[in-house]
Amino acid sequence: MYRRYHTPYHWREIDRLQQQMNRLYETAAPSRLRQAAGFPAMNIWSNNDGLKVTAEVPGVHPEDIDINVVGDTLTLTGERRPDDLKEGVQYHRQERGNGKFSRSIQLPYKVNIKKVEATFANGVLSVDLPRADEDKPRKIVVKNA
Amino acid sequence: MPETKVLEPQKEEIEISEGTERTREGLCFIPRADIYELDDHLMIVADVPGADDKTIDIVLEKDVLTINALVDPVLPEGFSLAYAEYEVGDYTRSFKISSEIDREKISASIKNGVLRLRLPKAAAAKTRKISVIAS
In a domain, A12, yes or no: yes
Identify which of A122, A99, A34, A42 has the alpha carbon closest to the alpha carbon of residue A74. Answer: A42
CA distance A95 to chain B (A): 5
**How many other C-beta atoms are found inside a 10 Å radius of the C-beta of residue B27?**
16
Nearest CA in chain A to B2: A91
Q: What is the pLDDT of residues A85-119, one digit of tens each?
A: 777 788 999 999 999 999 999 998 889 999 999 99
pLDDT of residue B14: 83
Q: Which helix (H) or strand (E) holds B43?
A: strand B41-47
Q: Mean pLDDT across the stretch B100-128?
A: 88
In a domain, A123, yes or no: yes
Both A46 and A115 in one domain: the answer is: yes
Q: Which amino acid is at A128?
A: D
Percent of chain B with pLDDT over 70: 90
| pTM confidence score | 0.78
CA distance B125 to chain A (A): 16
Both A63 and A107 in one domain: the answer is: yes
**Local confidence band at B3 (pLDDT 50, 70, 90 cut-offs):** low
pLDDT of residue A95: 93
Whole-number Å distance between alpha carbons of B47 and B11: 10
Contacts 24+ apart (CB under 8 A), A135-141: A135/A109, A135/A110, A136/A48, A136/A49, A137/A48
Q: Comparing A83-92, B40-49, B59-68, which segment has the lowest mean pLDDT?
A: A83-92
φ and ψ at A55, to 5 degrees?
-145, 140
**Residue numbers in A near B87 (CB within 8 A):** 33
Asked if the Cβ–Cβ distance from B112 to A94 is below 8 Å, we say no
Whole-number Å distance between alpha carbons of A43 and A74: 12
Q: Comparing A106-115, A132-141, B87-96, which segment has the lowest mean pLDDT?
A: A132-141
* Domains of chain B, CATH where assigned: 23-125 (2.60.40.790)
**Residue numbers in B near A35 (CB within 8 A):** 10, 85
Q: Supply the range of the domain harboring residue A46.
A: 35-82+98-136
In a domain, A89, yes or no: no
CA distance B4 to chain A (A): 6
Q: Which of A44, A83, A99 has the CB atom closest to B6's CB atom?
A: A99
Q: Comparing A19-23, B60-64, B98-102, which segment has the lowest mean pLDDT?
A: A19-23
**Local confidence band at B60 (pLDDT 50, 70, 90 cut-offs):** very high
Q: Mean pLDDT across the stretch B74-89?
A: 90
Q: What is the pLDDT of residues A2-60, one digit of tens each?
A: 555 666 777 778 888 888 877 766 555 445 788 888 899 999 999 888 999 999 999 99
Both A24 and A71 in one domain: the answer is: no
Asked if the Cβ–Cβ distance from A41 to B10 is below 8 Å, we say yes
Both A12 and A60 in one domain: the answer is: no
Nearest CA in chain B to A39: B9
ipTM, 2 dp: 0.82
Best residue in A45, A127, A129 for a mutation probing chain B (most B CBs within 10 Å)? A45
Q: What is the CATH number of the domain that holds A121?
A: 2.60.40.790
Identify which of B37, B32, B39 has the alpha carbon closest to the alpha carbon of residue B5. Answer: B32
In the three-class reduction of DSSP (H, G, I as helix; E, B as strand; rest coil), residue B48 is classed as coil
Both A1 and A67 in one domain: the answer is: no
Whole-number Å distance between alpha carbons of B101 and B106: 8
Asked if the Cβ–Cβ distance from A44 to B47 is below 8 Å, we say no
In the three-class reduction of DSSP (H, G, I as helix; E, B as strand; rest coil), residue A88 is classed as coil
Task: Check residues B110 and A139 and name the one with the higher pLDDT.
Answer: B110
Number of domains in chain A: 2
CA distance A18 to chain B (A): 25
Q: Which of B34, B45, B86 has the CB atom closest to A36's CB atom?
A: B86
